[in-house]
Amino acid sequence: MKYPGFLFPILVLSFLLHNQSVFANGSVEIDVKLSPAGSFKAQTKKVQGRAYRNGDDVVAENIIVDLKNLSTGVGLRDKHLKEHLMVEKYPEAKLVKATGKGGKGVASLIVKGKNQKVEGTYKVKGDTLVAEFPMTLSATDINDVRYMGVGVKDEVIVHVNVPISDGPMPHSEDHSSAGDKKQDLKKKPKGKMK
C-alpha cells in the first residue's frame, strides 16, 4: 500500500509514540574507578528490552543498550569514552541472555563485538529488575586508558534496571525451532488470502 508523502512521517511518529515503552523504564549505570584516585559514572536511559520472572527463575534475552547516549556529565570525558567504545562502529551493547535464581545470575554480553560472560546479583523491586555485575574493560580490548596522568581501572561495576513481567518469556519467531515453524504452518487455514 502506498501512502502520500506527508502521511508516512505521521504514521512513523504515531508508531514511535505508541511504542515509547521500548526505551521506557530501563537504565544502565556504569561505575568507573580511576587510578590513583577518584571515580565517575556513565549512564543512559536508552535501554530496550525486559526480563521475565517465572516462579523463582528470572530470564532476559536481547536487552539492547544504546551506547551513543552514554553520558558522564563531562563533555570531553564523554567524547573519550565513546572513542574507546568505538560507538560509531558498535553503537549498541547487547545482553544476549541472562538467567538467574535466588538473587544470583549469569549473563552473556556483547560489547564492541566481543563476547563476555559475567556473574552478578539482582533484586526485583516492584515491576523492575535491578541487577549489578562486574565486568572487565580488557575483555573488550579497552586497555591502559589514561588522560593527564589519571588512569581507568580495568574492572567496572554495571547496574542495570529493566522492566520485569511475571510469566515465562514469550518466544519470538527468531527463536523458534524448525519443528515449531512446521507446526505453525499446519495451523494456518487453507484458502485464498485477501
3-state secondary structure 12-47: HHHHHHHCHHHCCCCEEEEEEEEECCCEEEEEECCE
Residue 52 confidence (pLDDT): 95
**CB neighbours of 24 closer than 8 A, spacing ≥ 6?**
163
pLDDT digit string, tens, across residues 70-106: 898 989 888 988 888 888 999 999 999 999 999 999 9
**How many angstroms separate the CA atoms of 69 and 13, rounded?**
21
pTM of the model: 0.72
Q: What percent of the chain has pLDDT over 70?
A: 73
Domains of the chain, earliest start first: 23-183 (2.40.128.110)
Residue at 62: amino acid letter = N
pLDDT digit string, tens, across residues 96-136: 999 999 999 999 999 989 999 999 999 999 999 999 999 88
**CB neighbours of 151 closer than 8 A, spacing ≥ 6?**
34, 35, 144, 145
